[in-house]
Amino acid sequence: MEIIVRKLSHSFGEKQIFENFELRLREGGIYGLTAPSGRGKTTLLRILMGLQKPDSGTIPQGVRYSAVFQTDHLLPGRTTVDQLLFVRGSRRDRDAAARFLSGLLPEDSLYQSVGELSGGMQRRVAIARALWADSECLLMDEPFTGLDEETLRLTADFIFAHRQGRTLLLSTHQKELLSGYPFAWLTL
């Protein structure tokens, strides 16, 4: 499903962030989104997900998204595997979820409570959850924050390995580290 945003206008108080903004994401496209902070990367993603209503404009309805949010939003006190099962599957899928996660996280962290994981590991759990969920389009808001360069590459590889043809829109301020990946770059 193609994602088309038309004539999007939105402002925060006095500050107009979008004015007749247009966006077209073709099905299965891979897009990187860069902009100086405060330009509305997060707002754009939130508007797409339906979490924020724009002042005016049309946004596509009924698209099934999965997302990495600005903050991780993991279920506190639950294990890494539970985070995945919350968005898809049941107890029977535990092993499958663990196998999936083991491509991105150390084995001993899979049945640990997420509160005991480091910030970077929690971030990777949030990324794995987005990829594990059923969706047509992946929206990732600065998914690589708090990851060192090596982990960033590992994580980016993981994203591409499990994208499964879904449209990807990923915002980042580390464009130069992603030069090896087939992103079409958009700037706000």
Partner 1 sequence: MKPAKSTSPLGRLLIALFWLGVWQAASMLAAKPVLFASPLDTVKALWALLPTGGYWLSVLGSLGRISLGFFLGLLQGLLLGIAAFRFAWLKALVSPLLTMMKTVPVASFIILILVWFGSGPLAVIVALLIVLPQIYFSTLSGLDSTDPGLLEMSAVFRVSALRRAWWIYRPALMPYLTGACASALGMSWKAGIAAEVIGTPLRSIGEQMYLAKVYMATAELFAWTLTVILLSSLFEKLVLRLLKEVGK
Contact residues for partner 1, defined by CB under 8 A: 49-51, 64-67, 69, 71, 73, 75-78, 86-87, 133
- Nearest distance from C-beta of residue 126 to partner 1, angstroms: 9
CA distance linking residue 179 with residue 172, whole number of Å: 12
CA distance linking residue 170 with residue 105, whole number of Å: 21
Nearer to partner 1, 126 or 147 (CB): 126
Nearer to partner 1, 81 or 178 (CB): 81
Ramachandran category for residue 24: left, alpha or beta (phi over 0 → left; psi -120 to 50 → alpha):
beta
Nearer to partner 1, 70 or 174 (CB): 70
- Nearest distance from C-beta of residue 67 to partner 1, angstroms: 5
Nearer to partner 1, 133 or 154 (CB): 133
Nearer to partner 1, 6 or 73 (CB): 73
- Nearest distance from C-beta of residue 133 to partner 1, angstroms: 5
Q: Which two tokens stand for residue 39?
A: 């330009």
Please answer whether residues 140 and 6 qualify as being in contact, where contact means their C-beta atoms are separated by less than 8 angstroms.
no
- Nearest distance from C-beta of residue 149 to partner 1, angstroms: 28
CA distance linking residue 40 with residue 166, whole number of Å: 23
Q: Which residues contact 165 (CB under 8 A, 6 or more apart)?
A: 28
- Nearest distance from C-beta of residue 66 to partner 1, angstroms: 6
Computed over its alpha carbons, how large is the radius of gyration of the chain? Answer: 17
